[in-house]
Amino acid sequence: MSEKKATRVAYGEALVELGSKNSDIVVLDADLSGSTNTKKFAQKFPERFFNMGIAEQNMVSTAAGLALTGKIPFASSFAMFATGRAWEQVRNSVAHNDLNVKIAATHAGITLGEDGASHQIIEDIAIMNVIPKMSVLVPADAVEAKAMTKALVEYQGPAYIRLGRPNVPIIFDENDFEYELGKARLVKEGQDITIIAYGVMLSKAIEAAEKLETEGVKAEVINVSTIKPLDESTILQSAKKTGSIVVAEEHNRVGGVNCLIASCISNNLNSFCPMEVVAIEDRFGQSGKVDDLLEEYGLTSENIVEKAKKCIKRKVS
Amino acid sequence: MSTVSLERNLVISTEKLQETANEIRKLALRAITKANSGHPGGSLSLTDILTVLYFNLLKHDPKNPNWEERDRVIISKGHASPGIYAALSLAGYFEPEEFVNTFRQVRSKFQGHIDRLKVPGVEVSTGSLGHGLSIANGVALGLRLESKKNKVYALLSDGELQEGQIWEAVMASAHYKLGNLTAIVDRNRIQLDGWTEETMALNPLADKFKAFGWEVKEIDGHNFSEIIDSIQSGSQRDLTDKPLLILANTIKGKGVSFMEDKVAWHGVAPKPEELEAALAELTTN
pLDDT digits (tens, 9 = 90+) for A267-296: 999 999 999 999 999 999 999 999 999 999
Residue B96: DSSP 8-state: H
* Contact assignment for B172 to A52 by CB distance below 8 Å: yes
pLDDT of residue B218: 98
Residue B9 lies in a domain: no
Mean pLDDT of B158-183: 98
Quick one: which of A204, A215, A206, A168 has its CA closest to A186?
A206
Residue A180 lies in a domain: no
**Are residue A137 and residue A193 in the same domain, yes or no?**
no
**Are residue A16 and residue A72 in the same domain, yes or no?**
yes
Q: How confident is the model at residue A317 (pLDDT cuts 50, 70, 90)?
A: low
Residue B238 lies in a domain: yes
Residue A53 lies in a domain: yes
**Are residue A133 and residue A201 in the same domain, yes or no?**
no
Distance of residue A69 Cα from the nearest chain B Cα, in angstroms: 6
Residue A152 lies in a domain: yes
Closest in A50, A66, A88 to B128, CB measured? A88
A contact test, residue of B67, B69, B118, B135 with most A CBs within 10 A: B135
Q: Is A56 a catalytic residue?
A: yes
CATH code of the domain in which B173 resides: 3.40.50.970
Residue B8 lies in a domain: no
DSSP per-residue letters across A204-231? HHHHHHHHHHHTT--EEEEE--EEETT-
B contact test, residue of A24, A81, A93 with most B CBs within 10 A: A93
- A241-262 pLDDT tens trace: 999 999 999 999 999 999 999 9
Percent of chain A topping pLDDT 90: 98
pLDDT of residue B10: 52
- A152-206 pLDDT tens trace: 999 999 999 999 999 999 999 999 999 999 999 999 999 999 999 999 999 999 9
DSSP per-residue letters across B228-240? HHHHHHHHTS-TT
**Residue pair A143/A173 in contact by the 8 Å Cβ criterion:** yes
* Contact assignment for B131 to A61 by CB distance below 8 Å: yes
**Are residue A36 and residue A91 in the same domain, yes or no?**
yes
* Contact assignment for A71 to B142 by CB distance below 8 Å: yes
**Are residue A199 and residue A289 in the same domain, yes or no?**
yes
Provide the β-strand partners of residue A103.
A75, A160
* Beta strands A219-223 and A193-197, pairing class: parallel
Residue B205 lies in a domain: yes
**Residue pair A224/A139 in contact by the 8 Å Cβ criterion:** no
Range of the domain at A50: 4-169
Distance of residue A115 Cα from the nearest chain B Cα, in angstroms: 26
* ipTM of this complex: 0.96
Average pLDDT, chain A: 97
**Are residue A18 and residue A127 in the same domain, yes or no?**
yes
* Contact assignment for A65 to B143 by CB distance below 8 Å: no
* Contact assignment for A69 to B138 by CB distance below 8 Å: yes
**Are residue A200 and residue A266 in the same domain, yes or no?**
yes
CATH code of the domain in which A307 resides: 3.40.50.920
pLDDT above 80: residue B11: no
Distance of residue A173 Cα from the nearest chain B Cα, in angstroms: 37
pLDDT of residue B23: 97
Number of domains in chain B: 1
Mean pLDDT of B101-111: 97
pLDDT above 90: residue B284: no
Residue A178 lies in a domain: no
Residue A254 lies in a domain: yes
Q: How confident is the model at residue B8 (pLDDT cuts 50, 70, 90)?
A: very low
Residue A270 lies in a domain: yes
pLDDT above 70: residue B104: yes
Distance of residue B138 Cα from the nearest chain A Cα, in angstroms: 4
pLDDT of residue A37: 98
Mean pLDDT of A36-50: 98
Q: Where does A52-117 show beta strands of DSSP type E? A: 72-76, 102-105
Residue B75 lies in a domain: yes
pLDDT of residue B2: 34
pLDDT of residue B36: 97
- B186-219 pLDDT tens trace: 999 999 999 999 999 999 999 999 999 999 999 9
* Contact assignment for B138 to A55 by CB distance below 8 Å: no
pLDDT above 70: residue B185: yes
**Are residue A88 and residue A154 in the same domain, yes or no?**
yes
**Residue pair B52/B227 in contact by the 8 Å Cβ criterion:** yes
Q: How confident is the model at residue A1 (pLDDT cuts 50, 70, 90)?
A: low
Question: Among A169, A201, A227, where does a domain finish?
Answer: A169
Whole-angstrom distance, CA of residue A283 vs CA of residue A297? 9
* Contact assignment for B142 to A92 by CB distance below 8 Å: no
Residue in B closest to A93 by C-alpha: B131
pLDDT of residue A106: 98
Distance of residue B151 Cα from the nearest chain A Cα, in angstroms: 13
pLDDT of residue B234: 87
pLDDT above 50: residue A56: yes
Catalytic residue from among A56, A249, A250, A276: A56
Whole-angstrom distance, CA of residue B216 vs CA of residue B204? 12
Question: Among A124, A144, A169, where does a domain finish?
Answer: A169
* Contact assignment for A68 to B135 by CB distance below 8 Å: yes
**B74 and chain A: CB distance < 8 Å anywhere?**
yes
Q: Which residues of A touch B138 (CB under 8 A)?
A: 61-69, 73
- B50-98 pLDDT tens trace: 999 999 999 999 999 999 999 999 999 999 999 999 999 999 999 999 9
Q: How confident is the model at residue B235 (pLDDT cuts 50, 70, 90)?
A: confident
Closest in B117, B135, B164 to A93, CB measured? B135
* Contact assignment for B141 to A63 by CB distance below 8 Å: no
Phi and psi torsions of A249, nearest 5°: -150, 145
Q: Which residues of A touch B135 (CB under 8 A)?
A: 61-62, 64-65, 68, 93
| Element (DSSP H or E) covering residue B261 | none
- A67-84 pLDDT tens trace: 999 999 999 999 999 999
Residue B237 lies in a domain: yes
* pTM strictly above 0.95: yes
Distance of residue B121 Cα from the nearest chain A Cα, in angstroms: 13
Residue A176 lies in a domain: no
**B34 and chain A: CB distance < 8 Å anywhere?**
no
Phi and psi torsions of A281, nearest 5°: -85, 70
**Are residue A139 and residue A21 in the same domain, yes or no?**
yes
Question: Among A128, A144, A169, where does a domain finish?
Answer: A169
Q: Which residues of A touch B156 (CB under 8 A)?
A: none
Residue B1 lies in a domain: no
Q: Which residues of A touch B139 (CB under 8 A)?
A: 65-66, 68-69
Q: Where does chain A show beta strands of DSSP type E? A: 4-5, 25-29, 49-51, 72-76, 102-105, 135-137, 159-162, 168-169, 185-188, 193-197, 219-223, 226-228, 245-252, 275-280
CATH code of the domain in which A54 resides: 3.40.50.970
Q: Which amino acid is at A210?
A: E
Distance of residue A57 Cα from the nearest chain B Cα, in angstroms: 6
Mean pLDDT of B219-228: 97
Q: How confident is the model at residue B154 (pLDDT cuts 50, 70, 90)?
A: very high
* Contact assignment for B138 to A53 by CB distance below 8 Å: no
- A130-140 pLDDT tens trace: 999 999 999 99
Closest in A55, A69, A93 to B131, CB measured? A93
* Contact assignment for A93 to B136 by CB distance below 8 Å: no
**Residue pair A8/A165 in contact by the 8 Å Cβ criterion:** yes
Residue in B closest to A90 by C-alpha: B131
Reported as half-sphere exposure (CB side, CA atoms, 13 A), residue A109 has a value of 28
A199 Cβ contact partners less than 8 Å away, ≥ 6 residues apart:
A108, A109, A138, A139, A140, A162, A164, A225, A249, A250
**Residue pair A211/A308 in contact by the 8 Å Cβ criterion:** no
Using a 10 angstrom Cβ sphere, with 0-12 exposed, 13-18 middle and 19 or more buried, the burial of residue B264 is exposed
Mean pLDDT of A9-37: 98
B contact test, residue of A26, A50, A61, A96 with most B CBs within 10 A: A61
* Contact assignment for A57 to B171 by CB distance below 8 Å: no
Residue A252 lies in a domain: yes
Range of the domain at B224: 15-284
**Are residue A100 and residue A247 in the same domain, yes or no?**
no
Residue B2 lies in a domain: no
Number of domains in chain A: 2
